[in-house]
Structure 1
Amino acid sequence: MLEFFVGSGLAAAAGLNAWMPLLVLGLANRFFDAIALPAGWAWLSSDVALWVIGALLVLEIIADKVPVLDSINDAVQTVIRPASGGIAFGAGASAETLRVDDPGEFFANQNWVAIGIGVAIALGIHVVKASIRPVANAATAGVAAPIVSTAEDVSSLALSIFAIVLPIVGFVLLIGAIVTAVVVVPRWWRQRDRRAAIRNGNASQSTST
């Protein structure tokens, strides 16, 4: 079960930022004892992979903070983030971490199952993120873009780290993020729309009188 928690946290992080969990996985395997990647995923900690993933991470962080450009980036990332989620889930779930001493035969001979789960999780998180961002930009004239993006980057980093070190905590954070996205955010937008409608109605009455 811990393997699933590890993979889910990493895949969710990929839904927010495609490259963050891959870089965290690679660095953790390369420089720390936090995780030991199996042979099939060891390439994530190679020099070339770390430099390429790091460069792509910087590009995404910058692009995601510019209004309009962030929406274009989200469109491009519709393919990349789920793919990254599949890789992150597969690598994390089959790795030996601080909390997973023996991943054993988890999804043995069915790696596509693990990758498929990661793709689905990352895609779901990405769809929510990509649908909220244009609305937030329109409501704030683009001011929200860097603020929301920074919060997403921090969340992606936190999910990635907790998934490796404290996977249960990472899974709880994931559930909290889902509840917030599904329940709290829509409720906030409905209240905002009602307040705007009331203001417009009052303005119309004032004009007519």
Structure 2
Amino acid sequence: MSVLPLVFTSGWASGINAYAVVLLLGIFGATGVSDAVPESLQRPEVLITAGVLFLCEAVADKVPYVDSVWDSVHTVIRPAAGAWVGAVLAGHSGSLSDVTAGLVGGSTALASHTVKAGTRMAINTSPEPFSNVVMSLAEDLGVGGIVTFAMFHPGAAAVIAGTLLLSGLIVLVFLISRIRRFLRRRAQRREERRLAAQPGRPPDPSSW
């Protein structure tokens, strides 16, 4: 059976939370739930590292603005993780070339990461912090649920992941204008603070 559906699903999930994907796949392989997981993902040091980083992401991902900084740092990490997971899954299966699997996993992870990062930027335009927590929990549960489902029904899981990815890209298009307004306001505030810090600048009459 082709490993492509699992590669696609893990790539989509890696773009949202790469550490959760590595951790879940490793646990499923180590506990014998699935024989599709290579030993390189089951190694104790890999599981421990993924677990620690998952906990770090679980905290950072729920704090407004910190989540966007975290996403920026992971712009390279998540697609690279998706490509690596795809390649090792393909190498273990032998039904798909490593290069093809790496391209599928990496490109899918980049697309879902773009959706996540863009959506978080739009959410951060809201003054309340609760939406970040809700979105983060939904993402974590979604990744966990779909990766688990993919262990038993990879084809159906890939369809769900593809539908979510397409829906997310469509929503992101509608959020772009909101993100642009947010970035313009933030740039304006930075410029106002810079001007206010200049020595000898006359006071703003509006503050009288």
Is 1:79 aligned to residue 69 of structure 2?
A: no
Q: Out of 56, 60, 65, which is 1:63 matched to?
A: 60
Q: Residue 91 of structure 1 aligns with which residue?
A: 88
Tell me by how many angstroms 1:16 deviates.
0.5
After superposition, give the CA deviation of every residue in 1:123-181 in whole Å (9 maximum; x if it has no partner). Answer: 11101110111111213533311111111111111221122221112112112212321
Q: Note the residue ranges of structure 1 that are not aligned, 5 or more in a row.
A: 96-102, 193-209
> How is 1:150-189 mapped onto 2 (pairs within 5 angstroms)?
150-184=137-171, 186=173
Matched AA of 2:44: D
Q: Aligned letter for 1:106? A: L
Name the counterpart of 1:8. 8
Q: 1:20, 1:160 within 8 Å by CA — same for their partners in 2?
A: no
2:19·2:54 contact (CA, 8 Å) conserved in 1?
yes
Letter in 2 for 1:20: A
- Partner of 1:141: helix, strand, or coil? coil
Does the CA contact (< 8 Å) of 2:111 and 2:165 recur in 1?
no
Correspondence 1:128 to 2:115: yes
Identity of matched residues, % = 30
Partner of 1:30: 30
Asked if structure 1 preserves the Cα contact closer than 8 Å seen for 2:28 and 2:37, the reply is no
Greater relative contact order (Cα < 8 A, sep 6+)? 1
Q: Which residue of 2 aligns with 1:143?
A: 130
* Distance in 1 separating the partners of 2:150 and 2:127: 33
- Pair 1:48-2:45 in alignment: yes
State the alpha-carbon separation in 2 of the partners of residues 135 and 5 from structure 1.
30
Supply the distance in 2 between the matched residues of 1:174 and 1:140 (Cα, whole angstroms). 30
Q: What RMSD, in angstroms, separates the aligned Cα atoms of the two structures?
A: 2.4
Q: Which runs of 5+ in 2 are unaligned?
A: 179-208
CA pair 119-34 structure 1, distance change in 2 beyond 3 A? same
Q: 1:46 to 1:104 in 2, by over 3 A?
A: closer
TM-score calculated relative to the size of structure 2: 0.77
